[in-house]
Chains A and B, each alone.
Chain A
Amino acid sequence: MTEPLLRVRGLKIGATVYPPGEKPRDIEIVHGVDFDLERGKVLGLIGESGAGKSTIGLASMAYGRGGVRITGGEVWVNGRDILKAGLRDIRRLRGGEVTYVSQSAAASFNPAKPIMEQVTEAAISQGKFTRREAEKRAIGLFRKLGLPDPDNIGRRYPHQVSGGQLQRCMTALALCPEPDLVVFDEPTTALDVTTQIDVLAAIKEAIHDTGVAALYITHDLAVVAQVSDDIMVLKMGNMVEYGPTDQIINAPREEYTRALVSVRQIEHPEKLHRQASPVLSCENITARYKGTKFDVLKDVSVQLYPGQTLAVVGESGSGKSTLARVITGLLPPSGGRIVFSGRELTPDLKSRPKEDLRELQMIYQMADVAMNPRQTVGTIIGRPLEFYFGLKGEAKQRRIQELLDEIELGKGFQDRYPAELSGGQKQRVCIARALAAKPKLIICDEVTSALDPLVADGILKLLLNLQKIEDVAYLFITHDLATVRAIADSIAVMYQGRFVRYGTKTEVLSPPFDDYTDLLLSSVPEMKLGWLEQVLATRKMESAGN
């Protein structure tokens, strides 16, 4: 058997952590991982955050991010152990033999330099190509990756192209020096689903055409199933399962892999509303931001009934978060009115009575920045109790404990600080804080987007459960259709500031679809092999038929 391109043996990676109020200590985050990667093959590394997948990917470039160090094991690339290589040799490896595509191309491109210069830089500085050759190669890659105007796009600056285009440029950057291995670190996670599918197809084709090997890192099993030959499932720095993609998806052996495969299967039949009067009714809302000349929301009307969930779904920039800002009064609308539990809301937050503020609560995407890091969980949850109900002392403590029980956190949590909680626990505390006000409506703005799938599922189940107990209505803003299926009673599909489709869940998710909803629904990756090709083939046929 020939030597594999990448051979990892007993890889151990450590880091120094700085817990608040304690001495810094060293921890191990990857506990001995083995794998091989043949030339031209794609290995998917999958796991939740903290699984060590990015760290392992970067280790194949002998790189540790921040305080991360490779503490043991061997990483063989092209027949030499790079952990024993000198600095000069490692520099030749990085950008020459192994290249990297990061999650956020927007942040990974230098804003001060044109794209072409950055795409060709490694190839030129490694002496692999002359400037002229590298630029010709880059233009070829731009064309292959489906970028518009491939001959000239390299002259643009990163801020002049869209997020999806920049992610393709990043792929071109990685492929330009003709590497043997590319590390793709969540390359499509930050993109909208309709953009993701195109970028994914472009990446897959580029991998296939150039014959490069790849490590494809993602938390999304459905995505990795489309591109990889083998998959390795990681959990907390340990390998859980390692096998061909087909086996991992269709016949997972381990319990954890099965949980990942079956995730997002919450059954939630829609509830019919019993009451005649809606808790929230927006009528012909139009809104624009100060100093801009176009309406972000155009003539939006929506009703939400008590104890129901309305999911507002759309891509970034569609206006869904603006709708939340208008309802909460952060952005007074330029037209239309909002009726909330039978009374009209004033457009401006400052002039709203306390009762309106209490009955309308909000939960945000980033739980960590929505909490004061210097307050304990008890203080955070206790604040609305004092502010709205004037609770003090024993009564307040009792109520805090009740709320903590409701969010399944139990005793001992009220004295903890946000930094001591996991992502899911933080979001639960934010939910408890919203519930403390006994609201009639909670606006949930992408509340599960920053969480791992299994944790997100727990949050969704909790929200559904709480809805039953408290009879609270949710306005659920999300870009994720799986979340919508799991939680919504009615759905509004938003595109460029308008509702393109609005109705009960069954109505919205049953054909015939309008073009945009069809595009949106068909772009959500499915957990089966060959899904990507199938969708693209269908689309090709449809566009040929038109």
Chain B
Amino acid sequence: MHPILKLVSQRIALGLLLLVSSSAMIFGLTEALPGDAAQAVLGQSATPEALENLRREMGLDRPALVRYVEWLGGIVQGDLGTSITNRLDIATSIGSRLSNTLFLAFWAAVVSVPLAIFLGLLAVRYQNRWPDKAISGVTLATISIPEFLIGYVLVYFLAVQMGWFSPLALINDTMTLGEKLHSIALPVAVLTMVVLAHMMRMTRAAILNVMQSAYIETAELKGLSSFDVIRKHAFPNAIAPIVTVVMLNLAYLVVGVVVVEVVFVYPGMGQFLVDAVVKRDVPVVLACGVIFAAIYISLNLAADVVSILANPRLRHPK
């Protein structure tokens, strides 16, 4: 077996194991919280008899392990359960929300990842000179300011004062791609600012580390321009750490957008999750938790796989 196949399949198996154990953890934690779905439906003033009846009806009187296995079996078949507040199938209601969140995260990534890497390369090229310091300063500032504040500042200037964008990022299926993009421009900008610094600084550090190598000197002595030396010789050897941090930030874009979605009233997963928590809709919270965990784990898994593939020693064994 090719060593890469072996390593990659090991990682995937590990990822699946991680996913199952995190689902168990999410389930266990919601179990440990006081009160359950029956309590949430009937409220604090319900009589013990009514609670008992509803629990039997919802199957909550059975042992937790049985319910966990049943729940997990449902997820594997695409059944995320039923919401207890509106009695709707969760998978259906999450579907559009999730695709909205992914849409937002995708465009934020399309803008921020190339920009971060380019700025990182630029910072290395002009190391310790003013472009490097300017890039570091600006990105550090944007990461230090809380995202809701950046969001409101952008809304105030670009939407309210200038009127270029709508303060609310509302999208629906009847809009064209152009309209959708215009609508989500502000949240994309905020998300970009939040993730840019981390990725840019990691790119810079990883490349600077590689710049100490003897093969960089070889490249310089070939008469290549400084930018070509960095792009062609340093960057390919710094891919693994860069991809790791890029994937971490992508995961953040999907999972951590709650605040930004709320600021722009964007119909994504974040809002959905916040609503469910407020209404103590345990099955929905569970479903959201598992989806977030799956996204997080698969992105990190992808980072691992790319790092393995980026290693020429593994890709081309002796």
Bound pair: A and B? yes
- The residue that A107 contacts in the complex, of B213, B232, B233, B236, with Cβ under 8 A, is B213
**When each residue 228-240 of chain B gets 1 if its CB lies under 8 Å from chain A and 0 otherwise, what string results?**
1000110011010
Alpha-carbon separation in the docked complex, A102 to B219 (Å) = 12
**When each residue 134-170 of chain A gets 1 if its CB lies under 8 Å from chain B and 0 otherwise, what string results?**
0000000000000000000000110110000000000
Whether, in the assembled complex, B14 has its beta carbon less than 8 Å from a beta carbon of chain A, the answer is no
Q: Which residues of B contact A125 (CB under 8 A)?
A: 222-224, 228
- The residue that A102 contacts in the complex, of B218, B228, B312, with Cβ under 8 A, is B218
Interchain CB contact under 8 A, A109 and B215: yes
Alpha-carbon separation in the docked complex, A285 to B318 (Å) = 30
- The residue that B223 contacts in the complex, of A95, A104, A112, with Cβ under 8 A, is A95
Whether, in the assembled complex, A110 has its beta carbon less than 8 Å from a beta carbon of chain B, the answer is yes
A70 CB → nearest B CB, Å: 15
A103 CB → nearest B CB, Å: 9
B238 CB → nearest A CB, Å: 9
Interchain CB contact under 8 A, B225 and A91: yes
Whether, in the assembled complex, A96 has its beta carbon less than 8 Å from a beta carbon of chain B, the answer is yes
Task: Decide yes or no: A65 and B217 within 8 Å by CB, A110-B233, A111-B312, A112-B236 being known contacts.
Answer: yes
Whether, in the assembled complex, A218 has its beta carbon less than 8 Å from a beta carbon of chain B, the answer is no
Interchain CB contact under 8 A, A61 and B222: no
**Most chain A C-beta atoms within 10 Å of own C-beta, residue among B220, B222, B233, B318:** B222
Whether, in the assembled complex, B2 has its beta carbon less than 8 Å from a beta carbon of chain A, the answer is no
Alpha-carbon separation in the docked complex, A301 to B77 (Å) = 66
Interchain CB contact under 8 A, A96 and B223: yes
Number of A interface residues, CB 8 Å? 31
Task: Decide yes or no: A111 and B313 within 8 Å by CB, A94-B221, A122-B222 being known contacts.
Answer: yes
Task: Decide yes or no: A159 and B224 within 8 Å by CB, A110-B236, A112-B312 being known contacts.
Answer: no
Q: Which residues of A contact B236 (CB under 8 A)?
A: 110, 112-113
Alpha-carbon separation in the docked complex, A242 to B271 (Å) = 81
Interchain CB contact under 8 A, A121 and B318: no
Alpha-carbon separation in the docked complex, A220 to B218 (Å) = 23
Interchain CB contact under 8 A, B312 and A157: yes
Task: Decide yes or no: A104 and B214 within 8 Å by CB, A110-B233, A156-B316 being known contacts.
Answer: yes
Whether, in the assembled complex, A100 has its beta carbon less than 8 Å from a beta carbon of chain B, the answer is yes
Interchain CB contact under 8 A, B219 and A110: yes
Interchain CB contact under 8 A, A94 and B223: yes
Alpha-carbon separation in the docked complex, A405 to B100 (Å) = 79
Whether, in the assembled complex, A256 has its beta carbon less than 8 Å from a beta carbon of chain B, the answer is no
Alpha-carbon separation in the docked complex, A100 to B222 (Å) = 8
- The residue that A95 contacts in the complex, of B217, B222, B312, with Cβ under 8 A, is B222
Q: Which residues of B contact A113 (CB under 8 A)?
A: 233, 236, 312
- The residue that B318 contacts in the complex, of A91, A104, A159, with Cβ under 8 A, is A159
Task: Decide yes or no: A93 and B223 within 8 Å by CB, A107-B214, A110-B215, A112-B236 being known contacts.
Answer: yes
- The residue that A100 contacts in the complex, of B221, B316, B318, with Cβ under 8 A, is B221
Whether, in the assembled complex, A126 has its beta carbon less than 8 Å from a beta carbon of chain B, the answer is yes
B104 CB → nearest A CB, Å: 34
- The residue that A108 contacts in the complex, of B218, B224, B228, B310, with Cβ under 8 A, is B218
Q: Which residues of A contact B214 (CB under 8 A)?
A: 102, 104, 107-108
Task: Decide yes or no: A107 and B220 within 8 Å by CB, A113-B236, A157-B312, A160-B318 being known contacts.
Answer: no
Interchain CB contact under 8 A, A91 and B237: no
A169 CB → nearest B CB, Å: 12
Q: Which residues of A contact B233 (CB under 8 A)?
A: 110, 113
**Most chain B C-beta atoms within 10 Å of own C-beta, residue among A90, A96, A112, A126:** A112
Interchain CB contact under 8 A, A160 and B223: no
A290 CB → nearest B CB, Å: 18
A520 CB → nearest B CB, Å: 26
Chain B residues numbered 234-256 whose CB sits less than 8 Å from any CB in chain A: 236-237, 239
Chain A residues numbered 81-97 whose CB sits less than 8 Å from any CB in chain B: 90-96
Whether, in the assembled complex, A99 has its beta carbon less than 8 Å from a beta carbon of chain B, the answer is yes
Whether, in the assembled complex, A63 has its beta carbon less than 8 Å from a beta carbon of chain B, the answer is yes
Q: Which residues of A contact B213 (CB under 8 A)?
A: 107
Alpha-carbon separation in the docked complex, A111 to B314 (Å) = 12
- The residue that A126 contacts in the complex, of B215, B223, B239, with Cβ under 8 A, is B223
Q: Which residues of A contact B220 (CB under 8 A)?
A: 63, 94
Chain B residues numbered 286-318 whose CB sits less than 8 Å from any CB in chain A: 310, 312-313, 316, 318
Chain B residues with CB under 8 Å of chain A are: 213-215, 217-225, 228, 232-233, 236-237, 239, 310, 312-313, 316, 318
Enumerate 27 A-B pairs (CB-CB under 8 Å) in ascending A order.
Answer: A91-B223, A91-B225, A94-B220, A94-B222, A95-B221, A95-B222, A96-B223, A99-B221, A104-B214, A107-B215, A108-B218, A110-B215, A110-B237, A111-B313, A112-B239, A112-B310, A113-B236, A113-B312, A121-B219, A122-B222, A122-B223, A126-B223, A156-B316, A157-B312, A157-B316, A159-B316, A160-B318
17 further A-B pairs in the complex, CB-CB below 8 A; given A95-B221, A110-B237, A125-B223: A91-B225, A94-B220, A94-B221, A100-B218, A104-B214, A107-B215, A109-B215, A111-B237, A112-B236, A112-B237, A113-B233, A113-B312, A122-B223, A125-B224, A125-B228, A160-B318, A173-B218
